Structure 1
Amino acid sequence: MQQMFITPMVPINSIADIGSEKKVTSGQTGSSMFQDIFKEAIQNVKSTDENLTMQEYLLSTGQIDDAHTVPAAAAKAQLSAELLTALRNKALEAYNEMIRINI
């Protein structure tokens, strides 16, 4: 009988931890973590938009063999923009909620 190995689940502390192996240092403040999340989301929007532009250029000049990469790049660009918008909306909702709290 073969013995199975189960990898334990590791909790995700922030959105920035998804897909990366970098760990948050103990000296990092909450505001810089918050800022890093938005910087990463903005950079993701920029890079996916640049990739979409390049794929569209390659398609229009006939340099691309598989045309399905253009809609895939467009979907990635759209999803990254929607994620950034959702992050912004949630941050504004949280800020407005904190403003309403009576001290």
Structure 2
Amino acid sequence: MEQMFITPIKPLNSIGNVGNDKKVTSGQTGSTMFQDIFKEAIQNVKDTDKDLATQEYLLSTGQIDDAHTVPAAAAKAQLSVDLLTVLRNKALESYNEIIRINI
């Protein structure tokens, strides 16, 4: 009969470690991560908009076989803009909340 091994539970050092094994970031590193999220969202908007323009050009010149790719590219571009808008709104809400904190 095979012996089963039970992996012991590791204690958490802080609540920030839940879900990942990385250290909690703060200071300049946290700022860089926050900035990277927005840079990635902006780049995603640019990429999807460029893809939509390419798909529309191919459709208008008759070089595309399946016309359903254009609405799919439009939906993808709209979703990326919506995501960026939501990120911006949440960042502004968080900033305003921090400003309201009394020290």
Question: Do the two structures share a fold, i.e. TM-score over 0.5?
Answer: yes
Query: Which residue identity lines up with residue 98 of structure 2 in the other structure?
Result: M
Unaligned runs of 5+ in 2: 1-18
Identity value in percent: 80
Larger Rg: 2
Counterparts in 2 of 1:12 and 1:61: CA distance versus 1, 3 Å: farther
Divergent runs of 4+, >3 A: none
- The alpha carbon displacement at 1:12 in A equals 6.5
Root mean square deviation of aligned Cα: 2.5
Q: 2-side partners of 1:90 and 1:61: how far apart?
A: 41
Q: 2-side partners of 1:34 and 1:100: how far apart?
A: 21
TM-score by length of 2: 0.75
**Cα deviation digits, residues 2-23 of structure 1 (max 9, x gap):** xxxxxxxxx369xxxxxxxxx9
Unaligned runs of 5+ in 1: 1-10, 14-22
TM-score by length of 1: 0.75
Q: 1-side partners of 2:20 and 2:35: how far apart?
A: 17
**Cα deviation digits, residues 65-92 of structure 1 (max 9, x gap):** 0000000000000000000000000000
**Cα deviation digits, residues 10-54 of structure 1 (max 9, x gap):** x369xxxxxxxxx99x79710000000000000000000000000
